[in-house]
Structure 1
Amino acid sequence: MRLIIAEKPSLARAIAEALPGAARRDDGALVVGDTTVTWCLGHLLEQAPPDAYDPALKQWRLDHLPILPAEWKLMPRPRARGQLAVIRRLLKGAREVVHAGDPDREGQLLVQEVIEHLGWKGPVSRLLVSDLNRPAVQRALARLEDNARYQPLFRAAESRARADWLYGINLTRAWTLIGRQAGHDGVLSVGRVQTPVLGLVVRRDAEIRDFVPRPFFVLWADLEVAAGRLRAWWQPGETHPLDDQGRLLARQPAADLAERLPGAEGRLARLESRDRRQPAPLPYSLSALQVDAARRFGLSAKAVLEICQRLYERHKLITYPRSDCRYLPEEHFASARATLEGACRTDPTLRGWLAGADFSRRSRAWNDKQVGAHHALSPTGKPADPSRLDKAEADVFRLIARNVLAQFYPPLVTREVKAEFAIAGEAFRASGQEILEPGWKPLFTTREEAPPLPPLTEGETCRVREAGVEDRETRPPEPFTDASLIKAMMNIGRYVEDPAVRRTLREHDGLGTEATRAGIIETLVERGYLVRRAKALRATRLGSALIASLPDAVGRPERTALWEQRLGSIAEAGDDPAPFLASLVTDLHGLLSSADAGRLRQALANARGEEPAPAGRPSARRRGSTARRRGTGTGGSRPTRRRRSS
């Protein structure tokens, strides 16, 4: 018997349907001829708790830290024991095993750890499925690979799981224990990803809170030129009081000039014009889709992920959604027309866009060199049944299809014009943009662009018809939203102060993964560290105090971003995981030595932040369960039954 082990039941059903012959159900499996397809339920195994290594560790004590397992143990998740028994039984009759986890680091781990935990010693092949439709699964079945090729991916995922355990268990226990000494009765969860994300929000909130607005002043002049009228803006020179962004800090110079300007003549001293060709935005990665869907439809990152999972598993309308790639395989280009015609058939908006597509065009999106374990989100070609999709599902599906359709539209061509006028011995600037060829732009917005400047000729004269001064104030940064926080996590290098680290992160940018970013935000909300106010995400008093009490490096992104870089080297270059884990243990000793109840007590006393809505706080048991689920990416400790305070 050939035994195929899928990551989840939906994938197992898709594989069984793609095999020749009719499938019959067995206990926890599907049988098609000589092939049996079974499944995991996400992670069937989890890292054992500290007391599995030593019963004395069930009690939380500072003198037990750091906890460093000599030999790592896994244990079945409570709800997974039945399916684990099914796989154990089927392995006894198998001659070959096929690993059919999702095509990513975590998918490699969760199936392979089961195979190894149950002691299978025979051959293992690897099946990579990113599209659940029958033709795509049949193609994948025809090109099985040796699972040994993916050992580096497994070692990286295993190292991530162990490192998260070490970091989360030890720091969470340490800060919870000093929290008790400081008067806080509850678990203070610390994780290598969740805590830097919390730190981003806490620091942004502090910038907003401490912001002191400063007045500045701008002077405009409405000019008459040969071909019409335009508005230009004064560019005050260095003899005037300016801030570091060139803004005028005193009103009087602008007011004096405004009085003299009406009726004054000048000339167009310099004219710059250039045409720009912009290719269509690339197809979506999950994070890019979460950002756009949040802005356009107000959907949370978690909601977008859940919608994508339904579109992938239940409706089979899109390819594998948890992708960090925005490119498509070159072999998909030949079938793109048929795929999109099928995908757009039942949606009037998509049909209209399809009519304008030129399938002889080949955009930069088709690039095998940019495609790794995943490719960008794209339609499978299956027509959507409008009666089975809710509005949010239809909206998200339309975005995914639109970005692929846009690859078959011409570039957007614009003309950008910059003009500088010399009037009364001062410089005035105006700029405008004209759309020459709309290309893909109508698929993305129906908004009217700002009117372009009238035709201009360098050296021509102008006359000031009217002038005025506007009083303005500097504005604080905007609070984070789901969209902007996901974007910050995608581009975490922008928040790194060390120039050398920032350079290192250019190719390894990102905090969390496509699969975990939404879960990280929700975990922070559930644990009472963040709260939603309308669309804004704000830190609570508890969240602010936790960041203030931790060593600065724990609440900043440098450590975890470089950590992901090391894991990438293990996965892609086959680096040995041992030095990575050894360096983490060294770091832990230093971090634990800095745990200070006095500092935490002061942080709790000084904390300023939002209070979570009382009705919206889940119970301690429910909040703790979040860390158990695959995909949270919190790096926190294994949940305990201790009560958490609100």
Structure 2
Amino acid sequence: MRLIVAEKPSLARAIADALPGSIRREEGALHAGDSVVTWCLGHLLEQAPPDAYDPAYKQWRLDHLPIVPTRWQLAPRPKARGQLSVIRRLLKQAGEVVHAGDPDREGQLLVQEVIEYLGWKGPVARLLISDLNRPAVQRALGRLEDNARYQPLYRAAESRSRADWLYGINLTRAWTLTGRQAGHDGVLSVGRVQTPVLGLVVRRDAEIRNFSPYPFHVLWVDLAVANGQLRAWWQPGETQRLDDQGRLLERAPAEALAARLPGAEGQLSALENRQKRQSAPLPYSLSALQVDAARRFGLSAQAVLDICQRLYERHKLITYPRSDCRYLPKEHLAQARSTLTSACGQDETLRGWLAGADFTLRSRAWDDKKVGAHHALAPTGKPAEPGRLEQAEADVFRLIARNVLAQFYPPLVAREVKAEFTILGERFRSSGQELLQPGWKPLFTTRDEAPALPSMTEGEACRVVDCGIEDRETRPPEPFTDASLIKAMMNIARYVDDPEVRRTLREHDGLGTEATRAGIIETLIDRGYLVRQKKTLRATRLGGGLIASLPEAASRPERTALWEQRLADIAERDENPAPFLASLIEDLAGLLASADADRLRQALSAAQGEAAAAPMPRRRKTTGKRRRSPAGRTRRKPRTSG
């Protein structure tokens, strides 16, 4: 008997449907011909708690830290025992085993750790599926690989899991216990990814809070030229008092010039005229989709992830959603016309866009060299029936389909004009754009473009017909929203000074992963570190105090960059994980030594945030055991990974 172990029930059903023969169901498994398909429920196993290594660790004490297992252990999750028993029984009957985890680092880990935990010693094949539709699954079943090829990926994922445990368990215990000494009765959770994300928000809030606005002044002129009229803006010289962005800080020079300008004549002293071609935006990765859906529909990052999971698992309308890639395999190009025609035919908006698509075109999106374990989100070809979708599901599906359809539209072609005029010895600039060929643009916006500048010739005369001064004020940075925080996590290199670290963060997709970014935001809210105010995300006093009390290195993204670099070396170059974990343990000693009750007390007292006091974390449903705090109150065990 061949046993196929899928990552989740929806994938197991898709595999069983693609196998020859009728399907027979039993508890925890599906029989199809000579194959049996069973499944995990996400992670069935987790890193064992500290007291599994020593019962003394059940009590939180500073003199126990750092806790470092000498021989790592896994433990079943509370609701996993039943399904683990099913897989154990089926493994005893199996002649061959197929690993069908999702095609990424975590997918490799969560199925393989179960197979190994339950004692299977035979060979394992690897089944990689990113599209749940039957033809795609059948193709994948026809090209099984040796799972041994993916051992480096497994070791990298296992190392990441152990490192997150070491980091989260030790720092969370240290800061929680120090917090009690400082008078804070509650868990202070610290994580390798969640804490730098919180740091982004805390520092942005501080920039807004400490921002001191100042006035600046802008002088404009309306100019008559041979073929029409346009507006231009004065460019003050270095003799004026300017800020670092060239803005005029004193009104008097603008007033003096404005008094002389009415009716003044000048000439077009410089003209730059160039044609610009712009290709369509690429198909979506999950994070890019979360950013756009937040801006367009006001959906939270978690809501977009949940919708995508339903579109993938329940409706089977899109390919694997938790992708960090924005490119598509070349083999998909040949079926693109039939796939999109089938997918878009029942939606009026998509049908209109489909009618304008030219399937003889080929964009830069089709590039096998840029496709890794996943490819970009795309329709599977199953018809999207609007009546079966919730409004938000239909909205998100249209975005996904639109970005793929846009690959079959010509580029946007525009004429960009930059003009500089000399009047009374002063420089005035104007710019404009004329849309020559809209290309893919109508799929993305219905707004009219700004009017183009009239046609002009360098050296021609101009005359001032009106002028005015606008008094403006500098503005603080905008607070984070779901969209801008996800974008910041994607482009975290912008927040790092070290060029080597910046390069690593760009290469390894920033802070967090496509699958975890939305959950990180929700976790920070649940733990009382962030609050959602309308569409913005703000730090609470608790969140601000925690960041202020930690060593700066713990609240910045550089550590993640270094981790990802080491994990990539393990996954891609098959390096030994031991030195990575050893360096982390050495690093932990320094971080733990910096825990200080007085500093934490001062930080919590001085912290400013969106609430007078930190809100109580929202209660999660859990089946985990509770422990008694020293004060006798019940407290939930904190999640410490991430």
Q: TM over 0.5: same fold?
A: yes
Distance 2:574 2:222 in 1: 64
Distance 1:130 1:228 in 2: 56
In structure 1, the residue matched to 2:605 is 605
Amino acid at match of 1:536: T
In structure 1, the residue matched to 2:488 is 488
Distance 1:343 1:424 in 2: 62
Question: 1:436 aligns to what SS in structure 2?
Answer: strand
In structure 2, the residue matched to 1:121 is 121
Question: 1:79 aligns to what SS in structure 2?
Answer: coil
C-alpha contact (below 8 Å) 2:109/2:157 kept by paired residues:
yes
Question: 2:506 aligns to what SS in structure 1?
Answer: coil
Q: Deviations over 1:310-333 (max 9, x none)?
A: 000000000000000000000000
C-alpha contact (below 8 Å) 2:78/2:623 kept by paired residues:
no
How much does 1:560 deviate? 1.1
How much does 1:640 deviate? 6.2
Q: 1:534 to 1:132 in 2, by over 3 A?
A: same
Distance 1:643 1:412 in 2: 51
In structure 1, the residue matched to 2:629 is none
Amino acid at match of 1:60: W
In structure 2, the residue matched to 1:10 is 10
Amino acid at match of 2:13: R
In structure 2, the residue matched to 1:513 is 513
Q: Structure 2: where are the runs of 5+ without partners? A: 625-633
C-alpha contact (below 8 Å) 2:541/2:613 kept by paired residues:
no
Aligned ranges 1:342-361 → 2 under 5 Å: 342-361=342-361
Aligned ranges 1:378-397 → 2 under 5 Å: 378-397=378-397
In structure 2, the residue matched to 1:418 is 418
C-alpha contact (below 8 Å) 1:493/1:509 kept by paired residues:
no
Q: 1:509 to 1:9 in 2, by over 3 A?
A: closer
In structure 1, the residue matched to 2:292 is 292
Q: 1:535 to 1:234 in 2, by over 3 A?
A: same
In structure 1, the residue matched to 2:636 is 641
Q: Deviations over 1:79-117 (max 9, x none)?
A: 010000000000001010000001111010000000000
Aligned ranges 1:14-413 → 2 under 5 Å: 14-413=14-413
Question: 1:410 aligns to what SS in structure 2?
Answer: coil
In structure 1, the residue matched to 2:538 is 538
Aligned ranges 1:564-583 → 2 under 5 Å: 564-583=564-583
C-alpha contact (below 8 Å) 1:186/1:643 kept by paired residues:
no
Amino acid at match of 1:564: E
How much does 1:204 deviate? 0.1
C-alpha contact (below 8 Å) 2:527/2:616 kept by paired residues:
no
Amino acid at match of 1:432: G
Distance 1:437 1:616 in 2: 55
TM-score normalised by length of structure 2: 0.96
In structure 2, the residue matched to 1:469 is 469
Q: Deviations over 1:204-247 (max 9, x none)?
A: 00000000001100000000000000000000000000111100
In structure 2, the residue matched to 1:632 is none
Distance 1:643 1:383 in 2: 43
Amino acid at match of 1:514: E
Amino acid at match of 1:520: I
Amino acid at match of 1:386: P
C-alpha contact (below 8 Å) 2:287/2:486 kept by paired residues:
yes
Amino acid at match of 1:99: H
Distance 1:500 1:324 in 2: 22
In structure 1, the residue matched to 2:432 is 432
In structure 2, the residue matched to 1:588 is 588
Distance 2:612 2:446 in 1: 38
Distance 1:135 1:616 in 2: 49
C-alpha contact (below 8 Å) 1:154/1:571 kept by paired residues:
yes
Question: 1:137 aligns to what SS in structure 2?
Answer: helix
How much does 1:643 deviate? 9.8
C-alpha contact (below 8 Å) 1:171/1:190 kept by paired residues:
yes
In structure 1, the residue matched to 2:631 is none
Q: 1:118 to 1:592 in 2, by over 3 A?
A: same
C-alpha contact (below 8 Å) 1:526/1:623 kept by paired residues:
no
Q: Deviations over 1:169-208 (max 9, x none)?
A: 0000000000000000000000000000000000000000
C-alpha contact (below 8 Å) 1:219/1:469 kept by paired residues:
yes
Q: 1:134 to 1:568 in 2, by over 3 A?
A: same
Amino acid at match of 1:140: A
Amino acid at match of 2:493: G
RMSD: 1.5
Q: 1:323 to 1:643 in 2, by over 3 A?
A: closer
Q: 1:322 to 1:171 in 2, by over 3 A?
A: same
TM-score normalised by length of structure 1: 0.96
Question: 2:469 aligns to what SS in structure 1?
Answer: strand
Q: Deviations over 1:349-390 (max 9, x none)?
A: 000000000001011000000000000000000001222100
Q: 1:613 to 1:29 in 2, by over 3 A?
A: farther
How much does 1:642 deviate? 6.1
Question: 1:116 aligns to what SS in structure 2?
Answer: helix
Q: 1:616 to 1:382 in 2, by over 3 A?
A: farther
Distance 2:576 2:334 in 1: 40
How much does 1:568 deviate? 1.8
Runs of 4+ in 1 over 6 A off after TM superposition: 612-616
How much does 1:500 deviate? 3.3
Matched, 1:523 2:523: yes
How much does 1:614 deviate? 9.1
Amino acid at match of 1:318: I
Amino acid at match of 1:201: V
How much does 1:641 deviate? 2.7
More off after superposition, 563-572 vs 552-561: 563-572
Question: 2:131 aligns to what SS in structure 1?
Answer: coil
C-alpha contact (below 8 Å) 1:29/1:38 kept by paired residues:
yes
Distance 1:128 1:583 in 2: 33
How much does 1:417 deviate? 0.4
Amino acid at match of 1:84: L
Q: 1:328 to 1:20 in 2, by over 3 A?
A: same
Amino acid at match of 1:220: W
How much does 1:539 deviate? 0.2
How much does 1:565 deviate? 2.1
C-alpha contact (below 8 Å) 2:272/2:419 kept by paired residues:
yes
How much does 1:575 deviate? 1.6
C-alpha contact (below 8 Å) 1:343/1:380 kept by paired residues:
yes
Q: 1:451 to 1:468 in 2, by over 3 A?
A: same
Count how many residue pairs are aligned between Structure 1 and Structure 2: 630
Alignment identity in percent?
Answer: 80
How much does 1:622 deviate? 4.5
Distance 1:4 1:489 in 2: 36
Distance 2:3 2:555 in 1: 45
Distance 2:207 2:622 in 1: 29
Question: 2:579 aligns to what SS in structure 1?
Answer: helix
Amino acid at match of 1:137: V
Amino acid at match of 2:599: R
Distance 1:506 1:204 in 2: 21
C-alpha contact (below 8 Å) 2:540/2:614 kept by paired residues:
no
C-alpha contact (below 8 Å) 2:155/2:570 kept by paired residues:
yes
Question: 2:36 aligns to what SS in structure 1?
Answer: strand
Amino acid at match of 2:335: S
Amino acid at match of 2:602: Q
